[in-house]
Each structure stands twice: as structure tokens, then as C-alpha cells.
Amino acid sequence: MSQFFSRRFAALTPYTPGEQPRDKKYVKLNTNESPFDVPDSVVEAAKRAAAEFRLYPDPTCLALSRALEQAEGIPADRVMWGNGSDELLNFAFMAYCDGNTPAVFPDITYGFYPVFAAVNRIPTRIIPLREDFSVDMAILIRTPGTIFLANPNAPTGIALSREEVESLVRSDPDRMVVVDEAYVDFGAETVAPLTAQYDNLLVIRTFSKSRSMAGARLGYAIGDPSLIRDLETLRYANNPYNVSRVAIAAGVAMLGEEKLMRERCEKVAAQREKTAGELADLGFVLTPSKANFLFASHPDLDGGKLYRDLKERGVLVRHFDLPRIKDHVRITVGSPGDMEMLVQTVKAITEETK
């Protein structure tokens, strides 16, 4: 830290992204990227957009909003676009929390939430998940503050039903609920349609997982027009050109590939169930994941050691050195070949520990 670094950030612990290693070629199952490349239509659109780099992008991302309306029926005045959904989550923490309104989220969830709270100097109320990592709705409902829920949750993959989320939103119209649907396309129920009925519900989505565009940095928020205006105020106060020309063009093209996207999500979900069965046969205990990853532990294996043994053998997964989940690893659902490699490698490790 330099002598010039503001004291208000002196104690800030930033988010640690998953490794993007360059030392050797890994079977990379650590950051929940898609195993599928974007279709050619997306690459071509991005190239055409790059030819116009000289010009700033459209700060309203109108082409994206129109394409989203076509693809998913979400009206343009209920959407705002972001440089990845992380940016939108940060805006939501800024917009809907302060000294009097804490951020409320589970003890085990997306590791960026505590960082967004810290960087914005927002107090937090941490809700412990039950033993099986399910959400205790009764505790959430009686805890005041703005609720942040990843649905499905990360890194457990456990999903809440639309009814459960609605009961929370309905329980107090004066409380904001932010639902992070980064993984919803892999088998959970979206609550996006409920934003038409409830002006205290904001849904945040990303192109990084189901739409194979983690490298493009594109996400969107869906909510009542009044909420969208709040977020727009913060966006224009931070970075009006937050979505690049290439990301806009590529996103529009990707929204023209909904059928392909759905098919791919189904393939990932089927592969998830297949691999879950194979790991269970090896003695692993798994959460019922509805996301594009598995969350697994083994009674005879230390989570940190399993992560290191796998890495040594060229398979990269994610391990969180946190009290309740240090014996788990999170495994992205990759291609069939990747998953076969994972299962074979895990099998070899379990046999050696016997």
C-alpha cells in the first residue's frame, strides 16, 4: 500500500477470482465458464463492431434491449446493461444499502457480496444456511435490510423455487430483494416475470455462463422502471460507456441464438447429472445442484488436498478455504471429455487414499 492510498480502503480485502493459469494446459473446471465456444454469428458480429472502434458505443445499449425484448419478452424500460453482472451487483449494493439498510445474504454464497459491501462501507447481516445448505426463509423474512440471493446459489448450486422467492418479496413491499440469476438457465426457475408485479425485486443476469461470453463482460438487470432509473443514475455517475461496442454487437448476435443456447444448457444439465452419479458411486456427497457446477465432498478426503492433487494431475477445480465448506470442491461441468478426465483422475486419487 502506498502512503497515498485512502485510509478508507486500507483494510479492504478484494475478491479473489478463480485462477486463469498459464503454466500448463489444464482441464479447466474452476470458473464455471461454458465448455462451448460462441457460434460464428457472434464472432462475425464482434469483428464488424471492432471495425468501428473509433466511435464510442451507444450508452443506452438500445440494440441489446431490443434483442432481449425479442428473445425473452422483457420490455426495454425494465432493463439496464452492465460490464458483467458484477458491475450491476455493485450498483445494487450502492443503490439499496447504507448505514441504516444493511446488506443481508447467506454465510455461504457468492464471495463477491461481502466485498461489494466492504468497498461501499455497508454493514452486513449474514444469515447462516441450514446444515444441508438450504436457505431458512423464516430467518431471512425477519431480518431487516436489502436481501441478496444467488439463485441457484453459489457454490452449492441449490435453487429456490419461484414461490419461495415470491413469498420473500411479498412479505415486505418496503424491502428490496436482489436475485442474482447467474446460473438460472441450467435448470432453476427465473423470477424475472415477477418484476412486473413487484417494484421491490431486482433480477440480475449474465452472459458469462449459459451464453458462453465470460470474456465479453456483459450482464443485465431487470426490474421496475423506477429501479432501472436508480441504477442508471449510478451508471452515468461512474461509467456511461460501460458496455463496449464489441460486447453490444456480440450480445445482440448471441440473443439471436436462443435455441442453441437452450440446447447447450440442456446438454450441460444432462452432463451434470451423469457426472454427479459417477462421483456418488465413488463415495462423494453432492448438493442437488441446478447450476453448471457440482459441489462435492468425500468423507475420506480433505478438500484442500483433493484440489491440490487434482491440480498436480492437470485438473483444475475450485476450493474455498472457508469454515463450513473447506472439505468441498466446486467442479464446473465441462465437456464430456473433460468430465471423463475428471472422474478418472478422482478415481485414481480415491484408490490411492484407500
Find, among 244, 208, 227, 243, the residue nearest to 94 by Cα: 227
* Residues between 106 and 165 that touch ligand PLP (CB under 6 A): 110, 150, 154
User: Min. distance of Cβ 7 from ligand PLP in angstroms?
Assistant: 28
Contact indicator for 79, 222 with CB cutoff of 8 Å:
yes
Find, among 232, 229, 171, 224, the residue nearest to 201 by Cα: 224
Size of the site for ligand PLP (CB under 6 A): 13
Q: Which is nearer to ligand PLP, 102 or 106 (CB)?
A: 106
Find, among 193, 192, 246, the residue nearest to 215 by Cα: 246
User: Min. distance of Cβ 293 from ligand PLP in angstroms?
Assistant: 9
Q: Which is nearer to ligand PLP, 84 or 114 (CB)?
A: 84
Phi, psi of 107, rounded to the nearest 5 degrees? -65, -30
* Residues between 32 and 71 that touch ligand PLP (CB under 6 A): 32
- x-or-dash string of contact with ligand PLP, 204-223, rule CB under 6 A: --x-x-----x----x----
Q: Which stretch binds ligand PLP (CB under 6 A): 81-89, 158-166, 277-285, 316-324?
A: 81-89
By the rule CB under 6 A, 182 interacts with ligand PLP = yes
Among 84, 102, 114, 145, binds ligand PLP (CB under 6 A): 84
User: Min. distance of Cβ 218 from ligand PLP in angstroms?
Assistant: 7
User: Can you list the positions of beta strands (E) in the chain?
Assistant: 27-28, 79-82, 103-106, 124-127, 146-150, 177-180, 201-206, 219-222, 285-286, 293-297, 315-316, 328-332
Among 33, 180, 185, 309, binds ligand PLP (CB under 6 A): 180
Among 65, 85, 275, 292, binds ligand PLP (CB under 6 A): 85
Separation of alpha carbons 256 and 250, rounded Å? 10
Separation of alpha carbons 347 and 342, rounded Å? 8
Neighbours of 41 (CB within 10 A): 15
User: Min. distance of Cβ 318 from ligand PLP in angstroms?
Assistant: 11
Q: What is the residue type of 289? A: S
Residue numbers at the binding site for ligand PLP (CB under 6 A):
32, 84-86, 110, 150, 154, 180, 182, 206, 208, 214, 219
